[in-house]
Structure formats: structure tokens, C-alpha cells
Amino acid sequence: MSFVEYGDTIKDGDTAIVFLGHESMFPVKVQHGSVTQTKYGVIRHSTDLIGKKYGSKVTCSKGGWVFILHPTPELWTMNLPHRTQILYSTDISIITMMLELKPGSIVCESGTGSGSLSHALIRTVAPTGHLYTVEFHQQRAEKAQEEFREHGVEHLVTVTNQDVCKNGFGVSNIADAVFLDIPSPWEAIGHAKSALKAEGGRICSFSPCIEQVQRTCLAMEEYGFTEINTLEILLRVYNVRTVSLQIPDLGKAAEDNSSTGFDSSNPSHQDSPCANLQQGTVQFKSGVPLREVVGHTGYLTFATKS
């Protein structure tokens, strides 16, 4: 199993996603002899998972059932263990596009954090690209390295435990893009410029506060970056549902009745189209924003090495 090389069959040692519903899923490491408890009962890895195809419907011990899904960076973002605040698919999608990433690209990242963006970057640059990711916290760096190994992508990523603001990324003049998600990104702009290729490399900095953005933009200008711009991505989800509304009485039918001598008391006129219109309802699909919407996550500042 690999997050970038998809397989059909669940194998011992794989990471799989147990899907109970759109709002309920979790990752599990498949191991021979192990069991996983769910609200629908027990899943036995040896008999219920190993050898089955991804996407299979698995019946639990209480009679309920779940689906077993192949992991993807998107599913991992929704289910990973949080060691830090993470980036979600809304921001990740614009980052990979604006950094102009493609298979074969070389990317430098700091910090690694929980690895949400890292998995998406690895999938984008595979199979010939490479990710150099730097994490200041030793335990987080070690855990990220362990996850990359378990997910079959360790050959596409190099994890370094150091302070990027002091020591940089450990590479020079090879990166197509640099991504910064650190408290003081302006202190790492010089190292980012050194890591980028000679001309045309792209840089992105993620910051939750506009004051951080201001200092970062000043540092980018100082180091000669061009095309500096900042974006804020806001996601608005709509709930599509069927609603029934009564047809309003606009008075037109009453005027038509009086002009044509229509007698509403006459039983023969009770089934007329006008009478049905006045008392009917109409059903249609309506999109309504959710009452609670995820607001500001952060600002994305992009620039190009001149």
C-alpha cells in the first residue's frame, strides 16, 4: 500500500480508512490477528480485511456494516492524528496550483507539523519529484518520518529536524517551490531564496495574522521577490434539499373569474385549473448555507524569485 501507488487488495501492514458515514470515519493499521471496535461491532483484520478489495462492504459482529477505503491525502487530512494545527483541502488545493507543482518538482517545506500538506505535496510531485521538509520539534519530525515509511512514500521525502530560520533547508539552488508555515516566516525568506532554483522559483507563506503577512511581504521585497500577492480562501458549504412552498395568490385568477362570469359556487367549476393553482404547492430544490460556517484559517502569500 502506498498513498501515491494505489492497490486493489488490503494487505497486512496497510493503513486503511474505516468509513461509517460522511461525518464518521477513522484510520486503522491492518495487522494480522488484530481487531477494531466500532459502534456496529468488531472488525477482525485477519478474516474481514486482509485479502479483501478496497471499497468492500464489511459486516461487523453486531450485524452493522462499514466500507474500507484506500487512503488518499484528502482522506488522511480528515482523519490524521493532530500534533499541530493543520491545513485542509481548501487551502492545499490553491497552494499546489499557485506553486505550479507537477510530477518531478522539487519542493521545500517548513514546518512538517502533522503532515497534512506534506502528503498532498508528495502525491503531486510523484513519481520523480522530491519533498524536503524541515521540522523544528524532534518528536514531531520522528513521527512524520515514521508515517511516511508506513505509507510507502519515504523514498519521495527527506525529513530534517532543525530550525529553518537559522539553518535553512539543507539544499541550495534546486527547489522549484518553497512553502513556509512557521511563526516568523520573514526570518526564513533568505534561506528560501537560497534553496530555490536560479530563476522563476515560487514561494508561499501561510500565516493566520495579517501582521505576520505584512512583515513577510517586506522581507520578500528586500530579497528581490516579485509578483507578491496575498489570498484568503473562504469555504461556504450549501445544504441542497427539497422544499415545498405554497403558490402565492397574486389576484390574477380572481380578476379572470369576474371577467368571464366564473361562479365559484358552481360545483362544475371546482376542478378548474385556476382553483387548483390557488390552493396548490410547488416543490423544488433549494441551496441553503449551513448555519455554522468555518471562517478564517489564514492568509496565503505568494511570490516569485526574480
| Binding positions | 114-117, 135, 163, 181
- In the structure, how many helices (H) and strands (E) does the chain have? 9, 15
Annotate 38-95 with three-state secondary structure: ECCEEEEHHHHHCCCECCCEEECCCCCEEEEECCCHHHHHHHCCCCCCCCCHHHHHHH
Contacts of residue 202, Cβ cutoff 8 Å, sequence gap at least 6: 98, 99, 100, 176, 177, 178, 302, 303, 304, 305
User: How many CA atoms lie within 13 Å of 103's alpha carbon, on the beta-carbon side?
Assistant: 4
Cell numbers representing residue 213 in the block: 503577512
Do residues 219 and 189 make contact, with C-beta atoms less than 8 angstroms apart? yes
Do residues 108 and 186 make contact, with C-beta atoms less than 8 angstroms apart? no
For residue 170, give the 3-state DSSP assignment.
coil
Cell numbers representing residue 148 in the block: 511516511
Question: Residue type at 252?
Answer: K
Beta bridge partners of 60: none
State how far the Cα of 143 lies from the Cα of 55, in Å rounded to an integer. 28
Do residues 177 and 201 make contact, with C-beta atoms less than 8 angstroms apart? yes
Other CB atoms within 10 A of residue 71 CB: 22
Other CB atoms within 10 A of residue 234 CB: 10
Q: Which residues are known binding-site members for S-adenosyl-L-methionine? A: 114-117, 135, 163, 181
DSSP state of 247: P
